Amino acid sequence: MSVPEPRPGAPAADATTLRLGYGTNGFANHRLDDALAVIADLGYDGVALTLDHDHLDPFAPGLTRRVAAVGRRLESLGLGVVIETGARYLLDPWQKHAPTLLHDDPTRRIEFLRRAVRIGADLGAEAVSFWAGVRPEAVSPQCAWDRLVAGCATVVDAADTAGVTLGFEPEPGMLVQDIADWRRLHAALDNPARFGITLDIGHCRCLEPWPVPQCVAEVADHLVNVQIDDMRRGVHEHLEFGVGEIDFPPVLAALAAAGYQGLVAVELPRDSHAAPAVAARSIEFLRAAAATDHDSVRTLCSAPAEATPAEATPAEEAPVHM
């Protein structure tokens, strides 16, 4: 199910050809089989599969058999897949997201990410996505950074061996929270070919210094995974489309102009209570936004990017709701 690389010099696709997906973390109250069926029935092209205790638990018995079954299910439904690793309490029932690569003992996190890479390889995933984590108070910034670089290097080695593409996600409030941080990490790892970026469109509005379409242009050469949601400036809260502040037709046009061919997956992890209805509204919204004619926006997004600061709340003051 891997997506082929665009041909060199090929014209950018129209926004209506973007491949839409939906994240299973927004279907937390559904069995995985049922969630995949609903997502496919609504017309999505793929799924962002968060490995979790009830959705392909990577630590439960019979992993090989269960991965094979999920692969057959995805194939039968015609769904592409990316692997997400943001489960909240999978590794520690007491502490959300712990341990991360920044903790004193990141062993369980590293093993989780290695398993995610193997699962991604077996499912033909387009990318395996992960993030840095929040720096523990007792860990100095330099120590946290050194731990992150070392941990990421281990995951990159695993991905190279498995032939899997990694998408590292800048996350508000984490050690790597924006595009500039990702670039620093990419350079510290010696610019590995399989270490791309996962771009959350909402995060761009939350804290990046550029307009959202320009954020897409800034990372186009390294973009391997896209999450999409609405958001307000300075507040890290994933919102349904139309509730926040993002103008989506220019964003989708920017993705098309960048030649992005991967999944654009809806990321609404707090809406599982109404998942089918939210997913239905989301695909209708995105299809309408993609069909909006924005020739001037496409021209802008194909031009060299300029650092136009976004207005309002500075990133360091942004409240975090992960």
pLDDT tens string 52-89? 999 999 999 999 999 999 999 999 999 999 999 999 99
Nearest to 211 by CA among 311, 110, 315: 311
End-to-end CA distance of the chain: 30
How far apart are alpha carbons 148 and 25 in whole angstroms? 25
In the numeric block, which tokens belong to residue 287?
A: 């299809």
Whole-number Å distance between alpha carbons of 318 and 236: 7
Instruction: Find how far residue 318's CA is from the centre of its chain.
Output: 20
Give residue-wise pLDDT tens across range 207-243. 999 999 999 999 999 999 999 999 999 999 999 999 9
Q: What are the tokens at 96?
A: 């959300």
Q: What is the pLDDT of residues 128-164, one digit of tens each?
A: 999 999 999 999 999 999 999 999 999 999 999 999 9
Using a pLDDT cut of 90, give the percent of the chain over it: 86
Average pLDDT, the chain: 90
C-alpha–C-alpha distance, residues 125 and 118, integer Å: 10
In the prediction, which pLDDT does 295 show? Answer: 52
Find out whether 41 and 31 touch, Cβ atoms under 8 Å. no
Which tokens go with 183?
């670039």
Query: In this model, does residue 2 exceed pLDDT 60?
Result: no
Alpha-carbon distance of 99 to 133, in angstroms, equals 9
> In which band, very low, low, confident or very high, does the pLDDT at 172 lie, cut at 50, 70 and 90?
very high
Report the pLDDT value the prediction gives residue 8, as an integer from 0 to 100.
44
| Calpha distance 116→168 (Å, rounded) | 13
Are 252 and 217 spatial neighbours (Cβ–Cβ below 8 Å)? no
- What's the CA gap between 210 and 205, in Å, rounded? 8
User: Is pLDDT of 4 > 60?
Assistant: no
Query: What pLDDT is stored for residue 14 in this prediction?
Result: 85
Q: For residue range 262-305, what is the model confidence (pLDDT) as tens digits?
A: 999 999 999 999 999 999 999 999 999 999 965 544 444 333 33
In tens, the pLDDT along 98-126 reads 999 999 999 999 999 999 999 999 999 99
Token couple for 305: 């990017």
Q: What is the pLDDT of residue 302?
A: 38
d(CA 137, CA 157): 29
The owner of tokens 């089989």 is: 33
Contact 214, 220 (CB under 8 A): no
Distance between CA atoms of residues 119 and 130, nearest Å: 14
Q: Residue 219: name the closest of 201, 207, 231 by CA.
A: 201
Dihedral sign (CA 171, 273, 93, 154):
negative
Q: Which amino acid is at 124?
A: G
Identity of the residue numbered 41: D
